[in-house]
């Protein structure tokens, strides 16, 4: 059964990859017509499984399998259905499809909890520059998003109305207060599991992150006629900062620090740069650690700038707290993998996920599936068939263990 | 007399600044109509001094004061009359104008050598991307330049013909084989004399230089999901190289090393850079020292790249040898300044000058005049009036000392 169901998961991901706004690519931003095609396909599968399906006020697809137990709480399963431009076929979608596959794997077995498979309408933040509009609706914080405008000037509110939905129904999109929790299966989007040679990993936490720009302002001068001791070289100061960032991240377990953008002005080979702007992206699973590292790095940047008579301006762009995954759910994932004799290393999620939003209201956990070439947000993004099979097996075992726990508690 | 003549030099520089191709700027590329206006003004001054003036086959303005001594050799004095776009009023021009002023300062005194004041037509390399077309004609190497084309497709040959000159007369542009030497007075274009608090400096050598681009090719990856030890960060490698370049230049007397241009791709704050291209401009007065430093830096760049599984490609763009100034002429400048109780530190020229071309055929020396704000190739470029007076006095003393030496030798 598992092999056939694994193939059905992959076939469904392939079929959904054809729902796109730009032919030849997978490009499916928030509340676009191709999202309706995705919904239609998944509705069919849900109906065949005896699930009831609705689309909530922000466009999330929600299919429920009701428990026969009176007042049973709900376990939420899923991920997101939107994509970045020219995306791969698995980021987000895999976790939603696996939700339906897990219900199919139950083969009609009744559980002491209801299951709701969630296909979030918006996670990537492409259309409105803000992520997680879909999952925010479930924790009751999507109202703040309604006034945001896309590049064409259309607000979230207008987009919702154009999609045939209504913002007045936002309250009905919220998750139930007695929810059992949320499990999200997602491709890793990185090289850790591939490097370890394992199919799956249990996420310990979703990192917190700071993003900022550093502007170094010195003075442009002639590369030949300005001796080293009379320079105010903005790029020389920035280079020391970049080295400090790499050094600190290498010596601090779990820290990543990245300078991804740099611009040096005036930008001619024979002129000492007078002004440099570069980015800093710093992430760690512990907020106190991240804050301490950021403080240390900015102090070093300031010191290197001052040593060159260069002025440093720091422009914060974004700060997000870390989200530890729920200990009991993490343990359930470990135990489920152990039941199947599968390795189950823990790893940090360096990227944001809907699970960090859901964790604000209920126990949340994530299971990562190996990314064989570590490509993310790229058309060549891939998964191994056997790894998807492992995810399905561990997911099913998770449902069974959770059911056993619930039954034990009920006694 | 000196004060009046100093003012005349400054007034002439101001008047010549009005000869421009773009009104409101000083922009005078090679063989443009405004060069004719410059020639006309200086011809008038030369005639009043009893000098004969011609324009040679590449457009250099050449005014001669003949010695009464039979078969007297020629001392060449001057600099260039062309400018970069939106230039200052002194770069090049000051040295030419001071040539005429020095003849005026002689006040009819006969010397045992003839003087030829040179106003080179092309030094900046703006129109044809190659510098020193003017002075190359004097050492007989301008022929190689004739086929070069400007942005509009006009060759040097065509530009010469359009200016009313003829390339067939190139031989007549060459300097005489028995030339006494060449003296060029030029603004420093850097902060060294200003930092020392002195008006003038004697150039020990014009630096040699290498210019190259370094391309670091790693792999772009997600800034959150790629742990430090699995990155192939092209910018991290480049940053180490930039630090190594600054360190080496700081610890090596007379070395300057500059990274003026850097580009990191794909250039997003949340993506580890997969490819970086940056420039290296490295200069020193000794070629062996420069070569050794370049070799060391490239080895360090390669090592830092390899440590990150990053490929380094080195693309040479330009290499020029250093030119020491002539020892006897340098000494004459020192002695002349000492006669006047003026400080006369030696300094290296970090920029190229016509003197490095002339040095291939005759003794050549340069006297630098302080740049009070160190601005070069900029409309705010400036000189102090008193410093120009000092240059005039030292230049005159140089002419007198050279005459005394020539007379002593003749005895």
Quote the ipTM score.
0.90
Say how many residues make up chain B: 411
Question: Is-contact B117 B103, C-beta < 8 A?
Answer: yes
CB-CB neighbors (< 8 A) of B290 in chain A: none
- The domain spans of chain A are 2-206+322-410, 208-320
Portion 149-188 of A in contact with B at CB < 8 A: 188
User: Which site among B258, B285, B373 would you substitute to test the A interface, given the most A Cβ atoms closer than 10 Å to its Cβ?
Assistant: B258
* Contact between B260 and A191 using a beta-carbon 8 Å cutoff: no
Query: How close does chain B come to A180, measured CA to CA in Å?
Result: 29
In this complex, is the C-beta atom of B226 within 8 Å of any C-beta atom belonging to chain A?
yes
Residue range A171-187: average pLDDT? 97
In this complex, is the C-beta atom of B224 within 8 Å of any C-beta atom belonging to chain A?
yes
Predicted confidence at residue B78, as pLDDT, reads 98
pLDDT in tens, B91-106: 999 999 999 999 999 9
Predicted confidence at residue B395, as pLDDT, reads 98
Among partner residues A240, A258, A267, which is closest to B223 by beta-carbon distance? A258
Comparing CA positions, the residue from A398, A323, A322 lying closest to residue A359 is A323
In this complex, is the C-beta atom of A265 within 8 Å of any C-beta atom belonging to chain B?
no
Portion 108-137 of B in contact with A at CB < 8 A: none
Predicted confidence at residue B2, as pLDDT, reads 75
**Assigned CATH topology for domain B2-206+322-410:** Aminopeptidase (3.40.630)
Token pair belonging to B48: 């009043």
pLDDT in tens, B209-234: 999 999 999 999 999 999 999 999 99
Predicted confidence at residue B188, as pLDDT, reads 97
In this complex, is the C-beta atom of B268 within 8 Å of any C-beta atom belonging to chain A?
yes
In this model, does residue A1 exceed pLDDT 70? no
Residue range B163-170: average pLDDT? 96
CB-CB neighbors (< 8 A) of B269 in chain A: 211, 213, 258, 260-261, 279-281, 317
Helix spans in A219-272 (H) = 234-251
Average pLDDT, chain A: 96
pLDDT in tens, A71-88: 999 999 999 999 999 999
Give exposure, A227-264, as e/b (b: 16+ Cβ within 10 Å): bbebbbbbbbbbbbbbbbbbebbbebebbbbbbbbbbb
pLDDT in tens, B306-346: 999 999 999 999 899 999 999 999 999 999 999 999 999 99
Among partner residues A191, A230, A269, which is closest to B281 by beta-carbon distance? A269
Question: Is-contact B371 B364, C-beta < 8 A?
Answer: no
* Contact between A260 and B240 using a beta-carbon 8 Å cutoff: no
CATH 3.30.360.10 fits A208-320, yes or no: no
Among partner residues A228, A262, A266, which is closest to B235 by beta-carbon distance? A262
Comparing CA positions, the residue from B306, B294, B365, B372 lying closest to residue B336 is B365
Q: A263 vs A87, A204, B276, B404, CA distance in Å?
A: 27, 36, 12, 57
Question: Is-contact B53 B62, C-beta < 8 A?
Answer: yes
B316 burial (CB, 10 Å; 0-12 / 13-18 / 19+) is exposed
Among residues of chain A, what percentage have pLDDT more than 70?
A: 100
In this complex, is the C-beta atom of B228 within 8 Å of any C-beta atom belonging to chain A?
yes
């Amino acid at each position: 059964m598992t092999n056939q169901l694994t193939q059905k998961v992959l076939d469904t991901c392939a079929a959904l990859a054809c729902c796109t706004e730009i032919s030849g690519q997978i490009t499916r931003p928030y509340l676009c017509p191709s999202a309706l095609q995705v919904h239609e396909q998944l509705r069919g599968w849900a109906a065949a499984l005896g699930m009831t399906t609705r689309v909530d006020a922000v466009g999330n697809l929600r299919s429920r399998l009701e428990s026969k137990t009176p007042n049973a709480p709900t376990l939420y399963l899923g991920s997101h259905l939107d994509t970045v431009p020219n995306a791969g076929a698995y980021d987000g979608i895999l976790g939603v499809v696996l939700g339906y596959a897990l219900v199919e794997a139950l083969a009609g077995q009744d559980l002491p909890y209801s299951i709701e498979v969630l296909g979030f309408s918006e996670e990537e933040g492409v259309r409105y520059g803000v992520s997680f509009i879909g999952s925010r609706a479930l924790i009751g914080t999507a109202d703040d998003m309604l006034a945001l405008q896309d590049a064409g000037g259309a607000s979230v509110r207008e987009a919702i109305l154009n999609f045939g939905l209504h913002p007045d129904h936002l309250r009905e999109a919220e998750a139930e207060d007695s929810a059992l929790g949320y499990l999200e299966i997602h491709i890793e989007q990185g090289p850790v599991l591939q490097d370890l040679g394992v199919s799956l990993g249990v996420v310990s936490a979703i990192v917190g992150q700071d993003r900022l720009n550093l502007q170094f302002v010195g003075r442009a001068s002639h590369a030949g006629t300005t001796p080293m001791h009379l320079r105010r070289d903005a790029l020389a100061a920035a280079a020391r900062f970049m080295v400090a960032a790499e050094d600190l991240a290498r010596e601090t377990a779990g820290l990543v620090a990245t300078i991804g953008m740099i611009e040096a002005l005036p930008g001619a080979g024979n002129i000492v740069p007078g002004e440099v702007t570069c980015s800093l992206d710093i992430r760690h699973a512990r907020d106190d650690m991240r804050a301490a590292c950021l403080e240390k790095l900015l102090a070093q940047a300031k010191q290197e700038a001052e040593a060159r008579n260069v002025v440093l301006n720091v422009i914060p762009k974004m700060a997000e707290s870390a989200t530890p995954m729920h200990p009991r759910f993490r343990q359930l994932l470990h135990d489920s993998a152990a039941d199947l004799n599968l390795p189950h290393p823990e790893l940090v999620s360096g990227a944001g996920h809907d699970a960090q939003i859901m964790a604000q209201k209920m126990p949340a956990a994530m299971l990562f599936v190996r990314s064989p070439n570590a490509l993310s947000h790229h058309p060549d993004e891939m998964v191994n068939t056997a790894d998807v099979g492992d995810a399905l097996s561990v997911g099913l075992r998770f449902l069974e263990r959770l059911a056993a726990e619930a039954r034990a508690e009920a006694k």
